[in-house]
């Protein structure tokens, strides 16, 4: 139904709280949970990293998720336009609009490499379906992954296919259809992962895998690892990009922002932990390295699919569902740029989508080349923090560990220090106790945690 809310936002409102949860979960659950979480956990030593990551979700991620949805619903427009209105209403400094602009740029940069990895997943649907992994050794499975990375034209082809799907969905506005599909596809993906955990239990790496994930050894965690855990909390919950603000602008006034946000956060965390429990036992059972990097799931899971019964069917389904999960995140990543172009240049929806998507696709070529011909190009290598990083590494590092935390920090500061407590109370509509908990955490705990972690790891 088309409605106009108190702030005058024209458009479609979520028919129910559930529809918002599905769209927000569609954005949150993606490659971040199934591809990135396991491999950065592997690179950062396991349990201690997971514990810090969970603390970051609770202390930083959930409060900022609530803050961003609140700002979005109060503003009722695109993130940048909402911030402009709120700034006028609160008589605040114009600089706060950077919550919107910083996020829009970050989302644009993220999509450029997200699409390349999404392309790997599309390619793996074909590999699994053709039975390429059946009965193969881990060396052979690693070889298949390695040859894919070494070949720019293969990577470019699948990156282009993935971006074409994103553009088709965003331009045609079939998002509502996709969001309905999420209602079935997300649970299906979850069930398949639980089946994978079941398989993992039958391998002799299960105890070692679960220990690796949940038995913290703090000597393995560096201060840079802590920053990565924080950055991943933002990335995995789609924070600091304006995406959750944009979705919040469609949320009805009578829906509880806190309960809804916590549901989304819990589902996202659950998917990441189940992914870890499926992957690490397989890694250890096959004598692979947990610190193998971005290829971790593209080598360990195919090993499992190649040796379990019905592995070809289960594996093909798994990668199809992974592609859907990646697509629902990718469309949310393109949306801020498209909206900005529409507002700024007066382009219609189709032109804005093609322009923003074309630019993202073009930038994606840098990530494609980082994996092969430019693998020795380290543009910011003169700075210690960026030493040895390819363009792909830099895009990932700078967005997740710097831009998202900064934009999220600003959102928390805006809600906690610019808005009045009564305004926030009106929006959140919670019990006194819950409200003062949220208020104190958002004003003090969350900003301090972000500032300390960023300062410690960047300043050394
Ligand atoms: N949250 C997504 C994931 O975990 O895969 C990635 C993402 C989507 C990040 C949207 C940021 C964003 F705005
Ligand atoms: Na996620």
Q: Does ligand 1 lie within 6 Å of residue 329's CB atom?
A: yes
Please give the structure tokens belonging to residue 156: 């470019």
The pLDDT, as a whole number, for residue 7 is 41
Do residues 271 and 194 lie in contact, with contact meaning Cβ atoms separated by under 8 Å? no
The pLDDT, as a whole number, for residue 6 is 42
The pLDDT, as a whole number, for residue 342 is 86
Which residue's alpha carbon is at the smallest distance from atom 3 of ligand 1? 32
Do residues 428 and 70 lie in contact, with contact meaning Cβ atoms separated by under 8 Å? yes
Find the Cα–Cα–Cα–Cα dihedral 439, 443, 448, 450, rounded to 10°. 80
CB within 8 Å of 408: residues ≥ 6 apart: 60, 64, 68, 234, 239, 240, 450
Within a 13 Å sphere around the CA of 237, how many CA atoms are in the beta-carbon half? 36
Q: What is the rounded CA–CA span in Å between residue 189 and residue 267? A: 12
Which residue's alpha carbon is at the smallest distance from atom 10 of ligand 1? 238
97-108 pLDDT, tens digit per residue, is: 999 999 999 999
Domain span including residue 166: 2-459
Is ipTM beyond 0.95?
Answer: yes
Paired strand residues for 11: 3
| pLDDT greater than 60 at residue 8 | no
Do residues 335 and 246 lie in contact, with contact meaning Cβ atoms separated by under 8 Å? yes
The pLDDT, as a whole number, for residue 12 is 52
State the closest ligand 1 atom to the C-alpha of 35, by its place in the atom list counted from 1.
Answer: 5
**For the chain, how many residues are written?**
460
Cα distance from N-terminal residue to C-terminal residue, the chain: 53
Domain total in the chain: 1
407-417 pLDDT, tens digit per residue, is: 999 999 999 99
Ligand nearest to the CA of 104: 1
336 Cα to the center of ligand 2, angstroms: 18
Burial class of residue 218 (count of CB atoms within 10 Å of its CB; 0-12, 13-18, 19+): exposed
Q: What is the DSSP string of 310-340?
A: THHHHHHHHHHHHHHHHHHHHHHHHHHHHHH
| pLDDT greater than 80 at residue 27 | yes
288-336 pLDDT, tens digit per residue, is: 999 999 999 999 999 999 999 899 999 999 999 999 999 999 999 998 8
Could you tell me the pLDDT band of residue 35, with boundaries at 50, 70 and 90?
very high
163-207 pLDDT, tens digit per residue, is: 999 999 888 776 666 677 777 888 899 999 999 999 999 999 999
Taking the CB of residue 348, how many other CB atoms lie within 10 A of it? 8
Q: What is the rounded CA–CA span in Å between residue 248 and residue 250? A: 5
Taking the CB of residue 141, how many other CB atoms lie within 10 A of it? 24
Mean pLDDT for 203-227 is 95
From residue 229, how far is each of 52, 261, 262, 416 by CA, in Å? 6, 20, 19, 24
Q: What is the rounded CA–CA span in Å between residue 375 and residue 392? A: 9
Which residue's alpha carbon is at the smallest distance from atom 13 of ligand 1? 238
Please give the structure tokens belonging to residue 388: 């040895």
Percent of the chain past pLDDT 70, that is, above it, reads 95
| Entry pTM | 0.95
118-131 pLDDT, tens digit per residue, is: 999 999 999 999 99
The pLDDT, as a whole number, for residue 384 is 87
Q: Mean pLDDT check: name the lowest of 77-81, 176-180, 392-396.
A: 176-180
Q: Does ligand 1 lie within 6 Å of residue 332's CB atom?
A: yes
The pLDDT, as a whole number, for residue 3 is 42
Helical ranges in 205-307 per DSSP H:
206-214, 223-236, 243-248, 257-285, 296-307
Q: Does ligand 1 lie within 6 Å of residue 234's CB atom?
A: no
Q: What is the rounded CA–CA span in Å between residue 331 and residue 226? A: 29
Between residues 181 and 220, which one has the greater pLDDT? 220
State the closest ligand 1 atom to the C-alpha of 28, by its place in the atom list counted from 1.
Answer: 1
Q: Does ligand 1 lie within 6 Å of residue 69's CB atom?
A: no
Between residues 351 and 346, which one has the greater pLDDT? 351
Residue of 39, 238, 406, 411 to test ligand 1 pocket, by largest number of atoms within 8 Å of CB = 238
Residue given tokens 């831009």 in the structure block: 403
The pLDDT, as a whole number, for residue 332 is 94
Which residue's alpha carbon is at the smallest distance from atom 12 of ligand 1? 238
Residue of 41, 236, 334 to test ligand 1 pocket, by largest number of atoms within 8 Å of CB = 236
266 Cα to the center of ligand 2, angstroms: 11
Instruction: Provide the CATH number for the domain around residue 13.
Output: 1.20.1740
Q: What is the rounded CA–CA span in Å between residue 338 and residue 239? A: 18
343 Cα to the center of ligand 1, angstroms: 23
257-300 pLDDT, tens digit per residue, is: 999 999 999 999 999 999 999 999 999 999 999 999 999 999 99
Q: Does ligand 1 lie within 6 Å of residue 312's CB atom?
A: no
Burial 321-338 (b: 16+ CB within 10 A, else e): bbbbbbbbbbbbbbbbbb
Ligand nearest to the CA of 242: 1
196 Cα to the center of ligand 1, angstroms: 23
Which H/E stretch holds residue 436?
Answer: helix 432-440
């Amino acid at each position: 139904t088309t409605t106009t809310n108190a702030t005058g936002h024209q458009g479609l409102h979520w028919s129910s709280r559930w529809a918002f949860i599905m769209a927000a979960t569609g954005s949150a659950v993606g490659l971040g949970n199934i591809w990135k979480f396991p491999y950065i956990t592997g690179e950062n030593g396991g349990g201690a990293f997971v514990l810090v990551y969970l603390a970051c979700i609770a202390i930083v991620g959930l409060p900022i998720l609530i803050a961003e949805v609140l700002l979005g619903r109060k503003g009722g427009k695109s993130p940048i336009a909402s911030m402009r209105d709120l700034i006028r209403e609160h008589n605040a400094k114009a600089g706060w609009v950077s919550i919107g602009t910083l996020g829009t740029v970050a989302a644009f940069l993220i999509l450029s490499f997200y699409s390349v990895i999404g392309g790997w997943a599309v390619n793996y649907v074909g590999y699994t379906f053709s039975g390429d992994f059946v009965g193969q050794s881990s060396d052979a499975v690693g070889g298949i992954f390695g040859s894919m990375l070494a070949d720019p034209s293969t990577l470019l082809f699948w990156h282009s296919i993935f971006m074409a799907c994103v553009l088709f969905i965003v331009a045609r506005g079939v998002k509502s259809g996709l969001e309905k599909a999420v209602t079935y596809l997300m649970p299906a993906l979850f069930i398949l992962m639980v089946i994978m955990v079941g398989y993992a239990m039958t391998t002799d790496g299960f105890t070692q895998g679960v220990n690796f994930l949940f038995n913290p050894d703090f000597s393995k965690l560096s201060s840079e690892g802590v920053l990565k855990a924080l950055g991943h909390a933002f990335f995995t919950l789609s924070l600091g990009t304006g995406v959750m603000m944009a979705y919040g602008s469609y949320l009805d006034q009578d829906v509880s922002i806190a309960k809804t946000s916590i549901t989304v956060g819990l589902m996202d965390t659950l998917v990441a932990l189940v992914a870890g429990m499926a992957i690490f036992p397989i890694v250890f059972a096959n004598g692979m390295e947990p610190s193998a990097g971005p290829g971790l799931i593209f080598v360990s899971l195919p090993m499992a699919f190649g040796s379990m019964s019905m592995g070809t069917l289960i594996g093909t389904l798994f990668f199809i569902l992974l592609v859907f999960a990646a697509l629902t995140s990718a469309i949310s990543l393109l949306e801020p740029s498209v909206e900005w172009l529409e507002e700024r240049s007066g382009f219609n929806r189709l032109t804005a989508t093609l322009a923003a998507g074309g630019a993202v696709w073009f930038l994606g070529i840098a990530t494609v080349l980082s994996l092969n011909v430019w693998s020795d190009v380290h543009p910011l290598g003169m700075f210690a923090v960026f030493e040895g990083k390819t363009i792909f590494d830099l895009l990932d590092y700078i967005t997740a560990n710097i831009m998202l935390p900064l934009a999220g920090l600003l959102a928390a500061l805006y809600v906690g220090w610019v808005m009045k407590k009564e305004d926030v109370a009106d929006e959140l509509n919670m019990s006194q106790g819950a409200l003062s908990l949220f208020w104190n955490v958002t004003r003090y705990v969350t900003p301090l945690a972000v500032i300390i972690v960023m300062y410690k790891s960047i300043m050394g």
